[in-house]
Amino acid sequence: MLKNNIQVEATILSIALLTVITGAAISPALASISEAFKNTDAATIKLVLTLPSLLIAFFALISSKLCDIFGKKNILMISLILYLLGGVAGGMVQTIEELLFFRVLLGVAVGLMIPISISLVSDFFEGKKAIKMIGWISASNHFGGMISQLMSGLLVVLSWRYAFIAYFFAFISIFMVYRYLPKKVLKKKINFDFSEKIPRIIYFYAFAIFILMLVFYTVPINISLFVQTNGIGNSAFSGLALAMATTAAFIVGIFFQKIYDIFRIYSATIAIVVMGSGLGLLYLANGIILVLLGVALVGFGEGYLLPLLFHLTRKKVAQHQTVFALAIVTSMLYLGQFFSPIIMREISHLWLENSYRFSFQIATYISVITAIIVGIGTLLFSKSIINSAKI
């Protein structure tokens, strides 16, 4: 383990910063992209945001095998270069098909990148420092989203193409990985035996993160169109609202270890309640104040639950299993993002309701049900949960 290596810490955090920009930079621009491609239906426009998630889910699963063959550092460098190309080129396209192609390329890059970046925590840190790094990764992740959303929300007023400028941040990570990531990571082989069983609890965490993203992603997918169709604000306000959510998640990530130490086994239930309250406010919102308060509460909840699930996953497997275990959880995370609009749309059709507001209502119901189940489970199995939650 490396101690007090600020350069390695900064390198890991720079990678985390990029991952959320995948969708965050584009969310405020969806309405403008829809106007630019007027002959394209709404479902296809939403693919601009969700299509990378499908590719991320697949390539996250093969990331560990590629690392075993080529080494973590090489795969990281390749993924970062693909990220830069797929991200920036999206702003230069002339057709919706070209835009979706580069979003696919971006999804491939992020799928390879995410499990490696989180597994580096187990490679270089342990104990409370590792928990703190997980929180910092979440904070860095959301900081990238906060900056990109604010920037995109302002730039999209000029042109939707300017939203893709955020992907130039990849230059920083490419330099840092090349310069500061220790050579031993380049040479390190994972040697994961796919016949070796992953603990069953990992699949529970994977399902939990799928539900989390199913609910959370109703916000970035719908907020831009929601505020405009209801006369609450424009694209710039959409960027501000999304930045409010990521700012809240950023704050929680900074203090993740302290929150974890204080609330322990009850922290997950509390976070779900907070998130559900925010979604409920969005459902009721008819003005700026409720929208901003709602997205902030959603950000607080998601900002705690996401690093919590990654931390629990990392702790439940041996070090040589971390990339594959995290890949399983990461895949379900992005499948949740991809299927969120699809599932919400089908539920809306069953209820004969197709408004953006109704998506927030469904997400609120799911949050309430989940909070009840998790709360009861926590009370019934508190002793075993306490033992499994030990650092």
Q: How far apart are CA 31 and CA 34, in angstroms?
A: 5
Angle at 226 between CA 223 and CA 227, to 5 degrees: 90
Contact call for residues 34 and 45 (beta carbons, < 8 A): yes
Question: Does the pLDDT at position 4 exceed 50?
Answer: no
In a domain, 366, yes or no: yes
Q: How far apart are CA 130 and CA 124, in angstroms?
A: 8
- Give the pLDDT score at 237: 81
**Greatest Cα-to-Cα distance within the chain, rounded to the nearest angstrom:** 58
More confident residue, 115 or 172: 172
More confident residue, 2 or 357: 357
More confident residue, 25 or 329: 329
What mean pLDDT comes out for the span 196-210?
87
- Please count the structural domains in the chain: 1
What mean pLDDT comes out for the span 324-328?
86
* pTM reported for the whole predicted model: 0.77
- 10 Å CB burial of residue 358 (0-12, 13-18, 19+) is middle
What mean pLDDT comes out for the span 373-380?
81
pLDDT tens digits, 9-68: 889 999 988 887 887 788 778 888 888 898 888 778 888 888 888 888 889 888 888 887
DSSP-assigned letters across all residues of 253-298: HHTHHHHHHHHGGGHHHHHHHHHHHHHHHHHH--SHHHHHHHHHHH
Q: What confidence tier does 195 reach under pLDDT thresholds 50, 70, 90?
A: low
In a domain, 205, yes or no: yes
What mean pLDDT comes out for the span 366-381?
85
- Give the pLDDT score at 211: 93
Is 385 strand, coil or helix? helix
Tokens of 320: 């040589």
Non-local (6+) Cβ contacts of 196 within 8 A are 321
In a domain, 342, yes or no: yes
In a domain, 86, yes or no: yes
Non-local (6+) Cβ contacts of 255 within 8 A are 135
In a domain, 1, yes or no: no
Residue 106's domain is classified under what CATH number? 1.20.1250.20
Q: What confidence tier does 196 reach under pLDDT thresholds 50, 70, 90?
A: low
Please give the residue range of the domain that contains residue 234.
6-388
Range of lowest pLDDT (191-205, 210-224, 237-251, 340-354): 191-205
What is the percentage of the chain residues whose pLDDT exceeds 90? 27
- Give the pLDDT score at 382: 57
CA 208 to chain centre: 14
